[in-house]
Amino acid sequence: MLKYNWFYFLALSFIFILVYPYVFNAKLFLGGDNATYYSLAQGIASGFEYVSSNSPIPLPTNHYPPGYPFILAVAIKLGVTSLKGLKIVSGLFLLGSVIITFLLSFRFTENRIFSGLVALAVLLNMHLLEYASITMSEVPFVFFLLLTLLAFVKFADTGYRLKSWSFLLTVFGVIAVVYIRTQGIAVLGAFAFYLLINKQYKVAGILTLCFILGYLPWQIRSSSLGGSSYVKQLFKVNPYEADGEDMKLADWGTRIKNNTVRYISKEIPSLLFPVKPTAYNDPKTGDPLPASGLQWFLGIFVIAFSVLGIWQIKKYKWLLLSFFGANFLIFLLWPDVWFGIRFILPLAPLILIVFFVGMKGLLGMMLKNEFVQSGKIYPLLVIPYLLFNYPTIKLLHQKAEAKHAPNWTNFLSVAEWAKEKLKRTDVVVTRKPELFYFIADTKTKTFPYTEDLDVLKKDFEENKVTHVVFEQLGFSQTGKYLHPLLVKEPDRFELLYSLGSRDAVDAKGNKVKTQDGSWLYKYHRDYGYFGNYEQGLKQGEGTYVYANGSKFEGTWINDTIEGKGRFYMKDGQLSEGTWVKGKREGKFIITSPDKKQIIESYWKNNNIEPQGYLIDSLGNRTGQIKLR
């Protein structure tokens, strides 16, 4: 029996070798998480510390579970240090997932041909193939998720023998999946529920206890760092707003409704039929886009056949219902601003299995002949599906061959320039710090998402920021939180390098603003405004130090100099007088750098009057002087 399995393993591996290089995307994936994982892996590989290597102050972190960074760190220690090499690691996990899909499907259906075909459908799934050339946790999570389920199925089939390799592998898997992605907690919930309904109370208790003991060190560490950020985000209406509203009872209902609608009408159809990119928001207005009638049909179509398929797998139907139920419970409770295929992607192999089993089951209810009942009809169901999805393989190849969009190309090129010109100890602030670090190999950090410029400057001071990147990547935070400091205190910023000018010319010769620029500035902490801000406006007494060496001391009201002040030129010349709405007005005393000459001058609307007076140290006039 095993030799037949090996034939399928080799056939699937051969197809993988043909397809994977064809769709392999060697470019840096532009999602920030993959670069973050790399930074964390570097911390583990270099000193076995779970810190972000890119951070100017490498503090312990607990936002991302350490499982996937640990996998990358092992690869790095084994000599796999290039981006391409680390991407191939994800590809190998996909191949492993395909093999396990075959084994699981054969357990469920006892049909090798179907199992080989559905495993091939997993291998050719557009989303899985795309993530298989990205340094992200999705595909490794799929592998360990399926491996754990396979181990538990074998454990159940042996009569729940605790002294078996399948139980040990189940325990390892239940712990491993949560260390890779927090979503993995659904696996423990599903297994525990299934064991309880089968009255395996002792086994459920031991499995849960083993999980607690294995996961406890991470929880203790996480608690010591202020608790899980995922849990905190779960209870926020908008997890991107740390100071935003906490969830209320009505908010939970709204979130569950939004997630339910989105998964049925968009994520589930896209998972199995990814022939067209899913549009979530209007590109012009940013408003959510409703799903089409076809999307709704496909979503309900997949769900109906999948439920029927679960029911057809009589021996394991309660296990599968528990497994899907636990996962979808998490999906529905997860913040609805986090949309996309990522969360449901690990369930793709299982959904494909039960979907086709369900189609065969419906035909079996309608047609009582041996061709359908035996499962010989499976190729007629799966092969058209494979052909229907074949164009997505070409689409992935085109994406792999395509270049990054101009705005991202410029951003990454600025990072390459920084790698050549900056020191590794320099600290660069940017909206995408991990991606910049991946290229530039210098310390990086993001900026606080706050409109309080005092908080922003204090953060820059504490982290000894040396450079700042402004970009047009499409993220609102740069313009909302970072750009105002450039506008209010331009003397802090010295432009070093840029790609994509601020102004361009359209086809008709009209001046337009570019949408793809990136600018790297040297940040001068000793220049700029030193005083208080209120609601983004300079307010009260303060000092402004200019890049040319001059300095002003005085008072601001609503961002405008108002009242008495002192202005020092670079050479030390001092002007003292009164400013009205930011302009010199009235009498000003000008003292030369060597203090040997004192001039009484008069100003109107920031323009100096032509006649001035020389005065002594007591303020007495000693003569006239022409000032312009």
Continuous H helices in 32-164 = 32-47, 67-77, 83-109, 112-123, 126-131, 138-157
Classify residue 402 by its DSSP letter. S
Coil, strand or helix at 611 = strand
- pLDDT of 2 higher than 70: no
**Would you kindly state where each structural domain of the chain is located, as residue ranges?**
230-366, 406-525, 538-626
Residue 151 tokens read as 């181990």
Q: What interhelical angle do 348-366 and 138-157 show, nearest 10?
A: 60
Give the global pTM.
0.83
CB 89 within 8 A of CB 71: yes
Q: Please state, for a pLDDT cut of 70, what percent of the chain lies above it.
A: 96
Rg (CA), the chain: 32
- pLDDT of 510 higher than 80: no
The CA-atom distances, in angstroms, between 354 and each of 109, 302, 357, 551 are: 10, 10, 5, 73
- pLDDT of 1 higher than 60: no
* Arch. (CATH architecture) of 538-626: Single Sheet (2.20)
DSSP string spanning 419-442? HHHS-TT-EEE-SSHHHHHHHH-S
Q: Report the pLDDT averaged over residues 311-326.
A: 93
Q: Please state, for a pLDDT cut of 90, what percent of the chain lies above it.
A: 66
Q: How far apart are CA 296 and CA 314, in angstroms?
A: 28
Predicted pLDDT at 86: 92
Give the tens place of pLDDT for each residue, 155-202.
999 999 999 999 999 999 999 999 999 889 999 999 999 999 999 999
Q: How far apart are CA 59 and CA 98, in angstroms?
A: 38
Indicate the residue type of 506: D
Give the tens place of pLDDT for each residue, 39-69.
888 889 887 788 888 888 877 888 889 999 9
- pLDDT of 396 higher than 80: yes
Q: How far apart are CA 288 and CA 283, in angstroms?
A: 10
Predicted pLDDT at 243: 66
- pLDDT of 286 higher than 80: no
- pLDDT of 383 higher than 90: yes
Among the listed residues 94, 43, 95, the one whose alpha carbon sits nearest the alpha carbon of residue 73:
43
Mean pLDDT of the chain: 90
Q: Give 124's pLDDT tier (boundaries 50, 70, 90).
A: very high
Classify residue 132 by its DSSP letter. T
Q: What is the residue whose two structure tokens read 């998964």?
A: 263
Q: Report the pLDDT averaged over residues 146-157.
A: 95
Q: What is the residue whose two structure tokens read 């012009």?
A: 284
Give the tens place of pLDDT for each residue, 449-470.
988 999 999 999 999 999 999 9
Coil, strand or helix at 317 = helix
Q: Give 374's pLDDT tier (boundaries 50, 70, 90).
A: confident
Identify which has the larger pLDDT, 340 or 179.
179
